[in-house]
């Protein structure tokens, strides 16, 4: 049996905006079906990394492979490149930091939106998938509710249901616990673990939360000033005694990460 391709491989990826170096020679390999938590201070390139993964930004140099496909050479100005990029983006589900629900749509229509746009399913099949995924995230029979009626945690769970609706290979989560209390944050961590266990998807989680990393991560990375300070299996990274990792996990003001 052929060896399974890694979900994501980065080779010396660089990205700058004018004089501002956002990513510098970032290299990593994430096996399929694993959870990676990428830590780092605000403004250190984590969100830019997500945009590069889905082809919304092109790196200035280096290469990005998604399931073995080099996406850095795809040219969306050509029809073949557009088709390949569209197929690539179908592999991803995205959970945005604020949930990004459509406020004028009910919960059911929010979750159904990507299915109606990109899946060849009947309305009956869509309704069944929506009901299934809302039950997965603990919101059974919430289809008719409006986003304004939901708590912050409930909105995040609806956003999770929408992110998995197309059964993507890789789910990108941009600070899923942002703005939530510790109990609700822990609930979302459990949800990620449950979705990972039941659906087998690869998860890339951008976070500041070291407790979240300890709980859910198979792999941990730390970005600071655009450079990957550490990356690897969680236990190996935590045992590595690297100063930046120690400082971040110990919540210390002393160390290579500067307090601004």
Domains of the chain: 39-60+87-95+168-260 (3.40.50.300), 99-166 (no CATH)
- Element (DSSP H or E) covering residue 198: helix 182-199
Question: Which candidate, 73, 135, 79, 87, places its Cα nearest to that of 107?
Answer: 135
Q: Give the residue carrying structure tokens 């997500």.
A: 50
> What count of residues does the chain have?
260
Pure H helices in 26-148: 46-53, 79-89, 107-118, 123-136
* Contact (Cβ atoms closer than 8 angstroms) between residue 72 and residue 46: no
Torsional class of 75: left (φ above 0), alpha (ψ -120 to 50), beta (otherwise): beta
Q: What is the pLDDT of residues 52-62, one digit of tens each?
A: 998 888 999 99
Q: What is the pLDDT of residues 2-21, one digit of tens each?
A: 567 899 999 999 999 988 89
What is the pLDDT confidence band of residue 1, given thresholds at 50, 70 and 90? very low
Question: Which candidate, 222, 163, 233, places its Cα nearest to that of 26?
Answer: 222
Q: What is the mean pLDDT of the chain?
A: 88
* Contact (Cβ atoms closer than 8 angstroms) between residue 27 and residue 12: yes
pLDDT at residue 28 is higher than 50: yes
Task: Report phi then psi at 62, rounded to 5.
Answer: 90, 175
- Helix-strand-coil percent breakdown of the chain, rounded to 5? 40, 25, 40
Q: Give the tokens for residue 250.
A: 């110990």
Q: What is the pLDDT of residues 85-110, one digit of tens each?
A: 777 788 899 888 766 888 999 999 99
């Amino acid at each position: 049996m052929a060896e399974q391709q890694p979900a994501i491989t980065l080779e010396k990826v660089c990205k700058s905006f004018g004089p501002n170096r956002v990513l510098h020679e970032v290299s990593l390999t994430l096996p399929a079906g694993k959870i990676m938590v990428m830590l780092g201070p605000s403004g250190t390139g984590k969100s830019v990394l997500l945009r590069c993964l889905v082809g919304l930004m092109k790196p200035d140099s280096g290469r990005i492979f998604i399931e073995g496909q080099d996406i850095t050479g795809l040219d969306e100005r050509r029809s073949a490149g557009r088709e390949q990029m569209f197929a690539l983006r179908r592999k991803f589900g995205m959970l945005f930091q604020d949930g990004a629900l459509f406020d004028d749509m009910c919960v059911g229509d929010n979750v159904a939106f990507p299915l109606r746009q990109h899946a060849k399913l009947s309305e009956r099949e869509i309704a069944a998938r929506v009901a299934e995924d809302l039950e997965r995230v603990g919101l059974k029979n919430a289809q008719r509710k409006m986003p304004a009626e939901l708590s912050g945690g409930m909105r995040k769970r609806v956003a999770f249901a929408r992110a998995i609706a197309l059964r993507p290979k890789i789910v990108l989560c941009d600070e899923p616990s942002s703005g939530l209390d510790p109990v609700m944050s822990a609930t979302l961590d459990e949800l990620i673990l449950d979705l990972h266990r039941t659906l087998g998807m690869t998860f890339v989680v951008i976070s500041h939360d070291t407790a979240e990393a300890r709980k859910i991560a198979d792999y941990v990375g730390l970005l600071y000033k655009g450079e990957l300070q550490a990356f690897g299996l969680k236990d190996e990274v935590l045992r590595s005694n690297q100063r930046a990792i120690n400082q971040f996990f110990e919540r210390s003001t002393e160390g290579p990460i500067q307090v601004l």
